[in-house]
Chains A and B, each alone.
Chain A
């Protein structure tokens, strides 16, 4: 309780009525809150040892969870705004609904689990951690993902993606499952992997038509181990059938060159 009291002492009197603690779960009523207020609440709580947070009535607040670096879980009910979890470093965010554009922007570590859809530029410049989306995603997802030393960001899409998936991708893993597609259907996505020069996109079946700057290859044993472990986690988060998902042929899309535009400007 001491820690709770400490946290409460840090919170401005105006925001206190928004907060309730039940069975070690910190519940925030975010209705009408400005994103700065919501994030200041999240910071104060996480600094003082909270492990579980629930934010209710979230509606468009931006940057939720930004710069938090504690091992906490934040459950979001409603529709969080753009750049959810931007620059985040450790927490797990679970969205019980859809996420908007820029989800996971430049995230360093942590997890974002979206039970619905996620918008354009999901996983933009992400440099570590994992993002799982049960439904569909928008344009330019995974744009400029990167990896460095032991950091390899991973993004799993249960449904479909739109144009420019993996654009300028420099590292990391995208796995796209296309679970709602019928036999023989493609994602309606043009220019997949345009400017891609690192990392890998795994597709379940043959559902993408990648750009000329990429090569489509069979998956090897090492690839399958990555896919299996990601699908396992996906099923754990969303209650999907592991065997049904794995009962398919996977392909990998890799860049044809490490410098696709090497000749363009020289």
Chain B
């Protein structure tokens, strides 16, 4: 089960596979829930971008009957791991309900046992920690203590579904047609230099934060060591994992706005900073000095999501594609325009976001469109 499937797909171990993961995100800005049908069709339309070694979805608003409970999705690579994990969960949480995640036979490879739990932290055990930090600590324990159990989703009223296969097959396997959410992000994977295994598929998650990613982070080592200082342990053997934890650290724990986080991940070049007005220069220099270890080096386009918000971002010189569109109350983000047009042939607006500048969709607000996406006023 843990064998490196990349060896089968790339028998000669070529240094360079031409990668092109696919990303798709779709959000109803009024919070109205919709079925997985359109997100699945859209990501399947970019089938060519993946190679069947990973597909996944994050869906928000899918568990209204358990909306205040943490929903853990856990994959088990051994029976023993489940026994150990069950024990750990019952010691540290009140388990309100647990079941095997419903699946059907589908064109996926070596599926592990997948289980979901709805839990509440046992209050006496928090010992001064916030509930969220407590949950993260327990997730890290499960991921590291057995080596055979991996929590791939740990937020409230949301869930990640992922594995080895094309995204449309993963959707079939997890019966996603039976779920409804107001925000879906989707990923088709073409792993280049990390193994294709179930835990390594996207989205990556912690609490209700998820990230899907196209590209590669050559800064993974530095990012990972920095995040370890804050208690995040990387166990999924894929670079993108650091993004999920970095987003949790910066946006949830340190409450930085996304506009600042974008400047940390995709910092402007020094030559650009030098040309800025002094105050802005000071801010960006401070960010680069403070958060140098969270600079995401290398080509990337990503979709970050958590409850109430969907964010698209690319590296500062846009080495991976991202396109955005709006129609009525929907915001779409995608690697290719055709995927958006498939589910919404008419769009109110479609645009190419600039490198390093986030596209933000917030619940209850019109999407923040870069007003100056293409034009720039003359400096007076």
A interface residues (Cβ-Cβ under 8 A, vs B)? 35, 59-60, 62, 78-82, 98, 100-101, 117, 119-120, 136, 138-139, 159-160, 162-164, 180-182, 184-188, 190-191
Contacts and interface: CB of A to CB of B under 8 A. Distances in A.
18 contacts: A35-B48, A60-B336, A62-B48, A79-B341, A81-B48, A81-B336, A100-B336, A120-B321, A160-B374, A163-B317, A180-B375, A184-B378, A185-B375, A186-B378, A187-B376, A188-B354, A188-B376, A190-B272
A163 B336 contact: no
Interface string B264-285: 0000000010000000000000
Query: On chain B, which size bracket covers the interface?
Result: 20 to 34
Given A101-B321, A120-B352, A185 B338 contact: no
Given A59-B342, A81-B48, A81-B338, 5 more contacts: A98-B337, A119-B323, A138-B318, A188-B372, A188-B373
Given A59-B45, A59-B342, A101-B321, A159 B374 contact: yes
Contacts of B165: none
Cβ-closest 4 pairs across A and B? A60-B338, A79-B338, A186-B376, A160-B374
Instruction: Report whether over half of chain A's contact residues are helix, strand or loop; otherwise say mixed.
Output: loop
A187 B341 CA distance: 26
Nearest to B45: A60
Contacts of A100: 336-338
B339 interface: yes
Contact of B337 (A35, A62, A79, A139): A79
A14 to B, nearest CB: 19
Contacts of A59: 45, 338, 341-342
B354 A164 contact: no
Contacts of A82: 336
A100 B337 CA distance: 7
B186 interface: no
A41 B336 CA distance: 24
Contact of A60 (B318, B342, B376, B377): B342
Q: Considering residues B272, B323, B374, which has the most beta carbons from chain A within 10 angstroms of its beta carbon?
A: B374
Contact of A160 (B336, B375, B378): B375
A136 B46 CA distance: 23
A214 to B, nearest CB: 16
Contacts of B336: 60, 81-82, 100-101
B227 interface: no
Contact of A119 (B321, B341, B354, B372): B321
